[in-house]
Every structure is written in structure tokens, then in C-alpha cells.
Chains A and B, each alone.
Chain A
Amino acid sequence: MSDLLTSDSPFNAEQIDLLRQISGAMIPANEHRPGADDATILADVLATARAHPAGVIAALVEAEAMGLDAFSRSQSAACRTLVSMVIQCYYRDDRVVASLGSEPRPPFPQGYEVDDGDWSMLEPVKARGIIYREV
């Protein structure tokens, strides 16, 4: 964890540890995926949190006061703030994305394939005829 602590960090060691605990409780590791308390993912969470340090610190204060179990069930604005932040970092981690069967890359420039589909499915719609009101 020491590599996460920098002199200009808006978070102290206790706050970082609490965020790690919350992330791990939210999304723990299993045999296929890391937990959200994984060091790489947590570093991303902390980097993201630096954009809104006051809101994150307020959420951590609320979580500590409530206890993790009650906090996780609260659906409070503070809880949503942390959930949103952890999720956006967790589900862009290369290992997590790969475990979902996707390539760890941005959509552009390679794009994706999508089936054209079977346009003969429109036959019953055509057979029914015009449905707009004539004026």
C-alpha cells in the first residue's frame, strides 16, 4: 500500500485503508477475478477519487460511522458515490474485462461485429398494412 501514499494525496493512510476494506467488501476476489481491493484496481480507485476528494472523504466518514454492513445496505448518496467509483474502476481492469470474455481494449478503433439479422421477420408487419392516420 505504501506506493499509494504520496505527499500530495488528499487521503490519509486510515482513509485509504477504509476505502480498501469497502472495495473488498463490495467486490471480493473469487477464483476467476480479482477483488476490488486488488492493489492495481485500488490505485485506479484512488486516482479517480482525487477528482472529488471532499465527497469521497465525506462518504468514508459516513461509512465508518455506520459500519460496513449498514452502509452497504443504506443506498445513501454517500454509498452510491463509492459504489459508482469502485465499479467504474473495477470493470475496466484488464483482468476483469478478460474474465468477462471481452478483449481489454477501448471500442475505437477496432469496433465490433454485430449480426445483421433476418429481415424476413418484417413480413407480418408488412402484411398488416398502413397504420398511420391519413390527414
Chain B
Amino acid sequence: MSDDIVDVLIIGAGASGAALAYSLAETRMRIVCLEQGGWMNPLEYPSSGRDWEARGWGDMAVSPNRRRLASDYPINDENSPIKIANFNAVGGGTILYAGHYPRFHPSDFRVKSLDGVADDWPLDYQTLEPFYDENDRLMGVSGLAGDPAYPPKQPPMPPVPLGRSGSRLAAGFNDLGWHWWPSDTTIATQQYDGRAQCINLGACLSGCAQGAKASTDITYWPHAIRAGVEVRTHCRVQEITLRDDGFADGVIYYDAQGQECEQKAEVVVLASNGVGTPRIMLNSKSERFPDGIANSSGLVGKNLMFHPYSMIRGIFEEELDGPRGPGVCIWSQEFYETDAERGFLRGFTYEINRGTGPVNTAMMGMMSGRIPWGADHHAAFDKLHNRVTGMVGICEDLPEEHNTVTLDPDLKDANGIPAPKIDYVLSDNSRRMLDFSVDRASEILRAAGAVDVYSEAPISVGGWHLMGTARMGTDPERSVVNEWGRCHDVRNLFIVDGSIFVTSAGVNPTRTIQALALYVADNMKRRLANLFD
């Protein structure tokens, strides 16, 4: 294997790796993707069984430390109030994401200029817009054109249904005169590119058995594989190796049998998310890069951003959707753009969800004391069953160098590779934003008719979005990759996942991660003759 040199080696088959592979496939280069997980079988997703809710806390839990599947690696996140969520398989995090799919706003790329915080991105919304459009077509986006919170865009499919929950909350927003709009989602509301139409299973967060939710194992990858890209599953990368001339040589990885292997490549692309990518980079030490590959700036693993999430739910007297329907529904960006009078800079999106099934309803009720043990259990449960709905606030987190991913000195995965360690402190700005989001959401729920409201902020298990740990920029001393994803220090090493985000915006990041991956791939294709200059 060591004499076999591929043209492009992609590490990670999730949201970004799939998009990049698809785009580069037309070059007819030899492209290989190494993925530490395997292929998922949609018929085995939880919604095909009676234990569909329980499995969301077991083998399909969002925390790798809880799942402990063979494809997972442990993460020491004890020193963070927000715990890491991820999934390791072909499709990566898109297997478990909700499919809530907003774009960044134009202002998100200009935070320094507009609000005097963090840094501007080295590209803008207009530059990324054609790649957003291409990605929308490939992933299949459902939504409604005309959202006044965004520049014009045209989702290819109609929006997901409002349902009883969405209608009730929309009435609350209207009562207050606040913005709402049907969410852009990757839930297919019609048959689309071989995918079936959504039938409202309601278990989107543990994989879609219907295949209506766009995970990249059923969107990008089939196209990329047909075009000649090879995906090697159950292959975990330990480190990126370096040639004497300072270029990446390839990787050392462990295959499905646990054998150590080497794969050389002309180009290496990291697509392993905002924790996995710095983990591999920091573990790739050499004489030239004693602190990890491409880390002359010292910024690899720093500036970790989550989206601190608030969760606010109301209890209603009328029956709502319960778990039926796609979990995503409508959004509000009433408080998205900065208004300093609110006591914080930047803003957030409300992602309105529907309800939960009986198991999760009972769990919430008993853990919060709303449902007692004993004879009154049933009456208390009935007051909550299918009568709870609400939202989460997705708050913009600003980059701070003390929020880090490092290598744990003791904890290792099954292959003996050091596990990542998370050190994260919630900023005062994020704390104030979370509190504000809880207060305003409570007003919305009351206006919608809720008789009781409860909340959690931040959601402790809500470290879904991992960004900023190998940031993009034009200054090699203040960034890890340039404005088109190439490492400043190693000119045949690229990064395309959320690590390269300069700021986090106040929206779910997957759509922008994928648009960026297509943008980086486009730059690579256009510069093939002088890619390393």
C-alpha cells in the first residue's frame, strides 16, 4: 500500500468530505476517502422499531461517550459545560442532525467591520452564494422563497408542514409582531433525487428510515462513488505524515482489522469536524512542526466555538403534534442582527421544534418534578402528552483562544490514538444572549397560549456544532488556512470542515460547511496547474 499514491486523500466522509469528493470527482483524479465509521442501513434506524425513543439514548445517542460504538473515539469534555455531539459513519453528523438548514447572513462575514468583534471572513456571502445554490440542489432543500430575513433564494421543494405546533407558535409570533418563516430543511417534501418523500416519522434525530432527510450517505456519496471516488470504511487516521520538502506525504491509519497502514497522497484534505481535525493535526508532529502539522500560528485547536443552545418549551391545554412530523418546523430571526441595547453583540435564531414521544415526555416530566411517582403519575402525564412544544435558541458564539481542543495526555481510543480534550468557558456575551433568548421565547410561548414554560440554557448535551479550530484568513500568523482552504504552512494540505470558520454565526452550520467545501473544491479545480504555488 505504501507505494500506492492517490491524487486526493480525504479524511472523513461526513457533510464536507462528501461535498468535496463529489465536486472533485469530475477531474477524474484518483480520490480516496478514509472514514472511521461504516455505512448505515436505514432500515435499522430506530424509527423502524418500538424502542425508537430509547435508542436515542443508547446506540444512536448524540454523545460518543454514551454510544461507545466501535466507530467512536472517546472525548474528554469534562471541562466544558457543553458536551460534544457527533456521529462517526459515512454521512457523519448528517446522520443525526435535525436537517434544520439555514444559510449564514451577509452580515455574518463582516462581524469586525459591523460590530467590532472577532474578525471578518476573507470571503463574503456573494462569493459563497453560487455554492450555496449548488449545495441546495445536491442536498435537496425544502423551504419557501421570500423570507425577509435573507437575500432572495429559491429552495427546490415546498416547506415542511406547519402542523398544529407550528400553527400555534406562528400565532404567538404574529401576536408579538415578530419574524417567523418556514424553516429551510433538508427534509424532502417530495420525491427527490432517489429519496422518498417525508412521511412524518418524527425521529429525524436518530436517522431517517424513510430516506427523506438528506444525509450525505444518500445524497452526495452515491453520485461521487458512481464517478469513481473510493470510500474505505472503518479506517481511522492516526496522523498526517510529512515529506522532507515540507509537503504532506500521506497518512498513517488503522484499517478495519486494526492493522496499521500507510496511504500516500499528492493532496490531503481534512474533513473530520472541528474536534476531529485539530486532533489529527495536533497528533501529526514532526521536526518541522513539533506542535502539530501546519501549526506555526499556534492556532490549531484554539478558538473552539459551539453554538450555546437554549431550550424553551411550553405546555399547552390543547393537543398538538407530539412527535409526529419532521422535528424542524419554522424559524425566527427576529433577534439575529446586532442590537447593542439587548446587552450583547451578535444574535441568534429560534429553531421551532414540535413535541416528543411518550418516553421523552415522561422523562422530562419526572426529572423536572412535573410527573410524580405514585397514583398521580397518570393524570400528570396526560397533561403533558402531546401538549408540549417549543423551540431552541441557536446563539452565536464568538472565538476566544482559551476555548481549545488539545490532546488528552492519558485518554486514548481503541487504536491507541490520543483522545481530544475540550476546555471551554461560556462567555459573558453568550450567557447574556442565552438569557435573553429564554426570556423572549417565554413571551412567545405565553402569547401562543402556553400555560406553563420551562427551559434549559445552555443545553448541556448540545455540542452539535464544532467550529473555529483551524480558522481561515489571509494572515499566516493569525490563521491556519488561507481564503480557499489551503494550509498556509503545508501547501498540499486542505481543510474543509467547520474548523475553518472564522466566526460561528447564529445558525446551524452544515449548509455553510458544505458550501465552503464546494467553494474550496472549485478553487482547487481552477488552480490545478499551480495548486501548490
Contact = CB atoms under 8 A, between A and B. Distances in A.
B163 interface: yes
A13 B201 CA distance: 40
A124 interface: yes
Contacts of A124: 174, 177
Interface in A22-40: 25-28, 30, 32-33
B199 interface: yes
Contact of B373 (A25, A48, A130): A25
Interface in A116-130: 116-119, 121-122, 124-126, 128-130
B162 A109 contact: no
B409 interface: no
B146 A135 contact: no
Interface in B319-340: 321, 323-325, 333-334, 336-337
Nearest to B379: A30
Given A84-B57, A87-B366, A92-B51, A132 B358 contact: no
B180 interface: yes
Nearest to A104: B50
A106 to B, nearest CB: 5
A15 interface: no
B210 to A, nearest CB: 6
B234 interface: no
Given A91-B359, A107-B52, A131-B179, A114 B321 contact: yes
B366 A121 contact: no
Contact of B374 (A28, A83, A122, A135): A28
Contacts of A106: 47-50, 52
B161 A117 contact: yes
Interface stretch (B165-173, B215-223, B481-489): B165-173
Contacts of A110: 199
Interface string A63-89: 000000000100100001001100110
Contacts of A87: 359, 362-363, 366
A135 B125 contact: yes
B124 A135 contact: yes
B151 A132 contact: yes
A132 B105 contact: yes
A134 B200 CA distance: 37
Where chain B touches its partner, the secondary structure class is: loop
A114 B198 CA distance: 11
Given A27-B377, A87-B359, A88-B54, A107 B107 contact: no
Contacts of A111: 199-201, 210
B399 interface: no
B209 interface: yes
Contact of A112 (B52, B53, B325, B359): B325
Nearest to B367: A80
Contacts of A30: 375, 378
Interface residues of A, number: 51
Given A108-B209, A109-B48, A133 B106 contact: yes
A129 B200 contact: no
Given A109-B48, A114-B200, A121-B167, A88 B53 contact: yes
Nearest to A97: B358
A115 interface: yes
Contact of B174 (A88, A121, A129): A121
Nearest to B151: A132
Contacts of A90: 362
A135 B106 contact: yes
Contacts of B367: 75, 80, 83
Interface in B173-219: 173-174, 177, 179-182, 199-203, 209-210
B279 interface: no
B122 to A, nearest CB: 15
B166 to A, nearest CB: 6
B164 interface: yes
A28 B210 CA distance: 37
A100 interface: yes
A121 B161 CA distance: 13
B532 interface: no
A14 interface: no
A88 B359 contact: yes
Interface of B: 45, 47-54, 57, 105-107, 109-110, 114, 124-125, 144, 146, 148-151, 161-164, 166-167, 170-171, 173-174, 177, 179-182, 199-203, 209-210, 321, 323-325, 333-334, 336-337, 357-359, 362-363, 366-367, 373-375, 377-378, 385
- In the A-B complex, the 10 residue pairs with the smallest Cβ-Cβ separation, listed nearest first, are A117-B162, A111-B199, A114-B325, A91-B358, A88-B54, A112-B324, A108-B209, A107-B201, A135-B106, A133-B107
8 contacts: A106-B52, A108-B210, A109-B199, A112-B201, A115-B163, A125-B179, A125-B181, A133-B105
Given A84-B363, A113-B200, 11 more contacts: A27-B377, A72-B373, A88-B57, A97-B358, A115-B163, A115-B167, A122-B170, A132-B105, A132-B337, A133-B105, A133-B114
